[in-house]
Amino acid sequence: MDQIQAMRIFVRIAELGSFSRAAEMLSLPRATVSHTIKQLESRLGARLLQRTTRQVQITDEGQIYYQRCTQLLAEIEETDALFTQHRRQPVGNVRVDMPHSLAREVVIPALGEFYQRYPHITLSLSANDSAINVVREGVDCVLRAWQMTDDSLATLHLPALPQITCASARYLAEFGIPASLDDLSSHQMVGYFSLRSGQRYPLEFMHNGERTIHTLPSKLDVSGVDAYIAACRADLGLIQATRAGLQRWLDSGELVEIIKDMPPPDMQFYVMYPPGRFLAPRIRVFIEWLNELFTRPPSALR
CATH of residue 294's domain is 3.40.190.10
Counting residues of the chain whose pLDDT is more than 70, the rounded percentage is 91
Position 88 confidence tier, pLDDT thresholds 50, 70, 90: low
Q: Do 17 and 55 meet the contact criterion of CB atoms below 8 Å apart?
A: yes
This prediction's pTM: 0.68
> Do residues 138 and 280 share a domain?
yes
Residue 103 above 70 pLDDT? yes
What is the average per-residue pLDDT within 81-104?
A: 79
pLDDT at 87: 54
pLDDT at 55 over 70: yes
pLDDT at 300 over 70: no
Q: Is the same domain home to 71 and 115?
A: no
Whether residues 243 and 185 share a domain: the answer is yes
Is the domain of 188 the same as that of 45?
A: no
Q: What is the predicted pLDDT for the residue at 301?
A: 57
Closest to 255 measured CA to CA, from 272, 234, 224: 234
Choose between 54 and 187: higher pLDDT: 187
211 sits in which H/E element = strand 210-214
Domain end: 52, 81, 110, which one? 81
Residues 107 and 255 grouped into a single domain:
no
**Is 50 within the bounds of a domain?**
yes
Q: Return the HEC string of 123-145.
A: EEEEECCCCCCHHHHCCCEEEEC
Final residue in a domain of this structure, among 50, 81, 112 = 81
Q: Is residue 53 part of a domain?
A: yes
Domain count, the chain: 3
Domain extent, residue 8, equals 3-81
